[in-house]
C-alpha cells in the first residue's frame, strides 16, 4: 500500500515536471506543425477511401458485364473471322489499360 502511494506521488511529480518543461511546448509545437502539414496535403478520410473503393469495385464489375455483353453482340453481328481478329487487339488494349491504373 505504501509503495503504491509512493509510486503515485512520483508519477504525479514527473507529470507536473513534464507539463511545466519545454518538452510539453515542444510536443504542442510538433502537433501543430504536423497538423498544418497534413492539412496542406490532399488526404482523404478512411471512410471516404472505403466508399471510393466500393464504387471502383462496382464500376469494374459493371465494366466486365458490359464487355461480356458487347462480345455476345459482336458475335451475333460480325462474322466469326472478324471476331477472332478483334480479340487480340482488345486483349492488348485491356492490358495497356491495366498497366496504367
Q: Encode pLDDT of 36-95 as tens digits.
A: 877 778 778 899 999 999 999 999 999 999 999 999 998 888 877 766 666 666 666 677
C-beta separation of 99 from 87 below 8 A: no
Q: Which three cell numbers stand for residue 86?
A: 478483334
Residue 93 burial class via C-beta count within 10 angstroms: exposed 0-12, middle 13-18, buried 19 and up: exposed
The per-residue pLDDT for 67 is: 95
Residue 90 burial class via C-beta count within 10 angstroms: exposed 0-12, middle 13-18, buried 19 and up: middle
Amino acid at each position: 500500500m505504501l509503495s503504491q502511494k509512493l509510486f503515485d506521488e512520483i508519477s504525479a511529480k514527473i507529470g507536473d515536471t513534464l507539463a511545466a518543461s519545454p518538452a510539453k511546448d515542444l510536443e504542442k509545437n510538433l502537433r501543430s506543425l504536423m497538423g498544418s502539414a497534413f492539412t496542406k496535403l490532399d488526404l482523404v478520410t478512411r471512410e471516404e477511401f472505403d466508399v471510393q473503393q466500393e464504387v471502383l469495385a462496382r464500376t469494374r464489375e459493371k465494366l466486365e458485364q458490359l464487355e461480356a455483353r458487347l462480345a455476345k453482340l459482336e458475335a451475333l453481328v460480325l462474322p466469326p473471322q472478324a471476331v477472332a481478329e478483334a480479340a487480340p487487339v482488345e486483349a492488348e488494349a485491356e492490358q495497356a489499360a491495366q498497366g496504367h491504373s
